[in-house]
């Protein structure tokens, strides 16, 4: 193993040529990601203070903030979003932390890993619908215990989902964000000497969890800190999940902002922009709170390691952590199952566990209208993921990410600034510049959100590539470009396809940017599905949410099947 690292250090890519291509791609990507975010923020800030000449705002005024302040229940809407963001991020992180602490390197770890990884492909909206159909008063969970245990023969009058405290929304966010945090943790694990540290702490008598938390977690956390902030920003400003699972009157702030933004009265843009700045403050508050929580956590860890307490038997915590991961995954899988059941259900009155009859009618009825959005979704996702893959390959090829710093941060910028804070501005800018909602513009906006995930997905296998293959090829007289095209990319076929599928899934599940930039004229299966949440026809929702899940799933299916077909006769390429 030591041998391997020595080789990787001594046999880098041809450096001289790397220097000359250094500037082009990274400068382009910096601009591609940085400029829209900054321009979008500017496009939000201007109208918030009354400046939007296109619709007659020329002055500088605080009146829109005053108007915002008079909106009913604004405080409540804000607090629900803020607490949901912090609590959901906290729970997800603690689950991942304790599970990794208790099981890293065991067979259970890889078992849960296989269970959790596919969850990333399930779009937020579909997961939310599935969860809603599970836990609603007339949902599958209640049917399981009714009327036997509860005595209910008609659904109880509970406000679930859409409970006023946003608890269902928090559960929904946890089941979707936990897999993301788990996967970034997995990606960071190889950079931490886990096994040696575990031996060392075990020899000193520390239990698995305590030993891990004291010796490995601080190193690991540093690696996943940016993704954690991305989760925090996302959960504190989420729109689609909040529409489906969050409280209704008042709705969480981001939902209300989106309604204002989509209002046909253009003057509502001022109010929406002022609200978007409030959202920015809200997310910054969440971040500030998180920074304090980090300090507190570090302090607790210090006390833990200073106390010398070993806590050798931590089976209970370990099992709880494992169960939490499994239950969280089960929620999503069962949710998809319930979606499927509803999509083929005929008559399905309340206490019955299963539908009385099966029918294809919901599919027959919904399908004709769903075809066009599905085609749009696939085209949009395919184009943005393909562009992102090309850019990601360019970035990694010129080896700039290793330098870290600015580029790594800018890569996360679209994920750390709440979507609506700059997508609002982008839409307003488009309005001011007289841009029509065009497919090309939408692809570009999707690319901003897709690229970070594609780079994250590809960079791990890219770095693990044995560079001696390139050395051999160069020794055989091949140029750097030939080596890229004929050695590295073919050998990384599977990793490239997986990165493409990840980007495809991100684009397919993207709600807010599609809604706002598409301006109602370009609709995807995701915007259509979320729009159905108001109507509440479970059978149609079932069909749409399933279609929404199937589209990214097919992307992953292709990514795993194609290498088998391409490399049918190459044993080493199929693992």
| Short-list 360, 373, 345, CA closest to 550 | 373
- Bridge partners of 68, per DSSP, are none
Contact with another protein (CB under 8 A): which of 131, 487, 515, 519? 487
Dist. CA 38–CA 44, nearest whole Å: 10
Report the residue number, 444 or 567, with the smaller CB distance to another protein. Answer: 567
Angle between helices 361-397 and 15-48 (to 10 degrees): 130
Q: Specify whether the CB–CB gap between 514 and 524 falls below 8 A.
A: yes
Among positions 24, 144, 375, 476, the unique one binding another protein when judged by CB under 8 A: 476
Which residue lies nearer to another protein by CB, 285 or 471? 471
Q: Which of 151, 475, 535, 536 binds another protein (CB under 8 A)?
A: 475
Residue 117 CB, nearest distance to another protein (Å)? 24
CB of 575 to another protein, least distance (A): 10
Q: Does 486 bind another protein (CB under 8 A)?
A: yes
Nearer to another protein, 295 or 486 (CB): 486
Contact flag: residue 294 with another protein (CB under 8 A): no
CB of 458 to another protein, least distance (A): 17
Beta strand ranges found along 297-372 (DSSP E): none
- Exactly one of 83, 444, 490, 523 binds another protein (CB under 8 A); which one? 490
Of the ranges 125-133, 365-373, 401-409, 468-476, which one interacts with another protein (CB under 8 A)? 468-476
Stretch near another protein under the rule CB under 8 A, chosen from 71-79, 263-271, 295-303, 462-470: 462-470
Could you say whether residue 479 binds another protein (CB under 8 A)?
yes
**Selected binder of another protein within 2, 72, 404, 535 (CB under 8 A):** 2
Q: Which region among 68-76, 107-115, 135-143, 467-475 touches another protein (by CB under 8 A)?
A: 467-475
Q: Which residues does residue 345 pair with via DSSP β-bridges, in sequence order?
A: 358
Closest of 170, 180, 173, 169 to residue 119, by C-alpha: 180
SS3 438: coil
- Binding another protein (rule: CB under 8 A), the pick from 30, 38, 491, 558 is 491
Sign of CA dihedral 430, 435, 436, 439: negative
Closest CA relative to residue 42, chosen from 422, 409, 418, 433: 422
DSSP state at residue 308: -
What are the backbone angles phi and psi of residue 60, rounded to the nearest 5°?
-120, 120
Give the closest residue to 168 by CA, choosing from 193, 202, 134: 134
Q: How far apart are CA 213 and CA 218, in angstroms?
A: 7
Please tell me whether residue 564 binds another protein under the rule CB under 8 A: no
Measured from the CB atom, is 418 or 480 closer to another protein?
A: 480
Nearer to another protein, 565 or 572 (CB): 572
The helix/strand/coil state of 13 is coil
Q: What is the contact surface with another protein in residues (CB under 8 A)?
A: 2-3, 6-7, 9-12, 14-17, 466, 468-469, 471-480, 486-487, 490-491, 493, 567, 569-573
């Amino acid at each position: 193993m030591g041998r391997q690292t020595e080789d990787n250090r001594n046999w880098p890519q041809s450096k001289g040529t790397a220097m000359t291509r250094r500037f082009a791609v990274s400068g382009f990507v910096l601009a591609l990601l940085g400029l829209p975010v900054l321009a979008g923020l500017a496009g939000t800030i201007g109208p918030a203070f009354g400046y939007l000449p296109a619709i007659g705002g020329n002055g500088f005024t605080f009146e829109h903030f005053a108007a915002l302040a008079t909106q009913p229940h604004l405080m409540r809407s804000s607090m629900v979003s803020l607490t949901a963001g912090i609590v959901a991020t906290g729970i997800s992180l603690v689950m991942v932390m304790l599970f990794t602490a208790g099981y890293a390197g065991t067979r259970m770890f890889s078992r849960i890993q296989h269970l959790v990884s596919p969850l990333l492909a399930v779009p937020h909206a579909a997961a939310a619908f599935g969860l809603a159909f599970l836990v609603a008063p007339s949902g599958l969970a209640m049917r399981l215990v009714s009327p036997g245990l509860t005595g209910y023969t008609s659904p109880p009058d509970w406000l679930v989902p859409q409970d006023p405290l946003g608890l269902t929304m928090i559960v929904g966010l946890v089941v979707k964000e936990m897999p993301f945090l788990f996967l970034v943790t997995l990606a960071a694990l190889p950079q931490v000497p886990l096994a040696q540290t575990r031996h060392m702490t075990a020899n000193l008598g520390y239990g698995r969890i305590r030993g891990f938390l004291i010796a490995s977690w601080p190193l690991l956390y540093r690696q996943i800190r940016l993704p954690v902030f991305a989760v925090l920003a996302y959960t504190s400003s989420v729109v689609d999940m909040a529409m489906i699972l969050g409280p209704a009157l008042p709705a969480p702030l981001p939902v209300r902002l989106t309604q204002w933004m989509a209002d046909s009265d253009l003057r509502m843009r001022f109010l929406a922009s002022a609200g978007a700045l409030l959202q920015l403050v809200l997310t910054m508050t969440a971040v500030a709170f998180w920074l304090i929580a980090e300090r507190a956590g570090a302090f607790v860890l210090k006390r833990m390691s200073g106390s010398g307490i070993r806590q050798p038997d931590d089976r209970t915590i370990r099992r709880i952590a494992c169960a939490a991961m499994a239950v969280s995954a089960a929620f999503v899988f069962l949710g998809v199952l319930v979606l499927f059941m509803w999509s083929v259900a005929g008559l399905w009155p309340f206490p019955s566990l299963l539908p009385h009859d099966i029918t294809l009618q919901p599919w027959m009825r919904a399908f004709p209208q769903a075809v066009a959005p599905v085609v749009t979704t696939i085209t949009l996702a395919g184009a943005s993921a393909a562009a992102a893959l090309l850019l990601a390959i360019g970035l990694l090829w010129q080896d700039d990410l290793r330098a870290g710093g600015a580029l790594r941060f800018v890569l996360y910028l679209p994920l750390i600034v709440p979507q609506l804070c700059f997508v609002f501005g982008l839409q307003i800018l488009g309005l001011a510049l007289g841009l029509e909602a065009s497919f090309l513009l939408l692809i570009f906006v999707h690319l901003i959100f897709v690229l970070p995930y594609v780079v994250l997905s590809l960079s791990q296998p890219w770095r693990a590539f044995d560079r001696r293959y390139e050395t051999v090829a160069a020794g055989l007289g091949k140029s750097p470009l030939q080596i890229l095209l004929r050695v590295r990319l073919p050998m990384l076929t599977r990793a490239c396809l997986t990165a493409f599928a990840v980007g495809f899934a991100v684009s397919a599940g993207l709600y807010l940017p599609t809604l706002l930039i598409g301006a109602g004229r370009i609709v995807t299966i995701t915007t259509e599905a979320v729009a159905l949440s108001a109507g509440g026809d479970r059978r149609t929702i079932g069909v749409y949410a399933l279609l929404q899940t199937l589209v990214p799933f097919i992307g992953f299916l292709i990514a795993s099947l194609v290498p088998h077909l391409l490399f049918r006769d190459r044993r080493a390429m199929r693992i």
